[in-house]
Amino acid sequence: MTGTTRSSEGLDARRRKLLFRSWHRGMREMDLILGTFADAEIGALTEIEIDQYEGLLDIPDTKLLPWITGERPIPADQDSPILRRVLAFRQAMTF
């Protein structure tokens, strides 16, 4: 997998930006996790979920990856429904 499989056509500007940011994290592992999640889910996220997802993308990869892989517990102040949704999506992924 080398990048997005979803076109940004039909997405509003904010969703297009989040889709791009999901695939351009700087750490390939995070590109694959968040990029595939965004490909599949970005069009269906509610405004609240979009707000949460935008906040999630602001977290540095070095902090976020260990939470997603389960190497470190998710801090209570960072736990959110969208992070749980990403975790569930990752569990269902096969590479």
Domains and CATH numbers, the chain: 13-92 (1.10.150.250)
Report the percentage of the chain scoring pLDDT > 90: 80
Give tens-digit pLDDT for 44-64.
Answer: 999 999 999 999 999 999 999
CA angle 53, 90, 33 (to 5 degrees): 60
94 band by pLDDT with thresholds 50, 70 and 90: low
pLDDT at 95 > cutoff 70 = no
Average of pLDDT values for 32-36?
94
Give the containing element (helix H, strand E) for 89. Answer: helix 81-92
**pTM, to two decimals:** 0.87
Q: What is the reported pLDDT for 1?
A: 46
CB atoms within 10 A of CB 38: 24
Q: Cα dist. 5→34, 38, 39, 58, 80 in Å?
A: 13, 10, 7, 23, 26
